[in-house]
Chains A and B, each alone.
Chain A
Amino acid sequence: MQTPKTGADVETAVREFIAENYLFGAGPESISDTDSFLAQGIINSMGVLELITFLENTYDIKVGDDEVVPDNLDSVRQVAAYVRRKLGSPGNNGTGSGHAG
């Protein structure tokens, strides 16, 4: 298993994940930090599940049931802030050691 990434550049990692899996041609630069994944039709409900799996595997965090809300997951900026909170929070079960950016 790969070493968990830190929270240093979550934006780039998320943008690349979305571009590779859902944009079908447009590059990562075509998503702005605040584009709504759902309202812009970038990902659908299966995509949200896959994004969660990607975050859990990449950052070694556990996304709780009640954390699956648009405020945490619906844009590059929201995902980055959420991941940094998880990595920085002492309650996180994972071994992620990134620092809040």
Chain B
Amino acid sequence: MVTVEFLGPIQKESLKLEIANLSELAKILQNDEEMRPWLENSAVAVNDMLVNSRDVELKDGDRVALLPPVCGG
């Protein structure tokens, strides 16, 4: 089971999904109308490391986080 968390302003409860990679996650979230705008501008972290491509295998217990645009300070 992989946990998917939505950070900051994304108003969505975390998910627990049986997925093996980020492409499978992309397909699931693309079917969620409310998530589509966030997919355009959000970064993705796997176990708190930012990733630059979907070619990331996921295993049981992994945590994925979506990080929308930031503005500290």
State yes or no: do A and B come from one complex: no
Residues of A within 8 A of B (CB): none
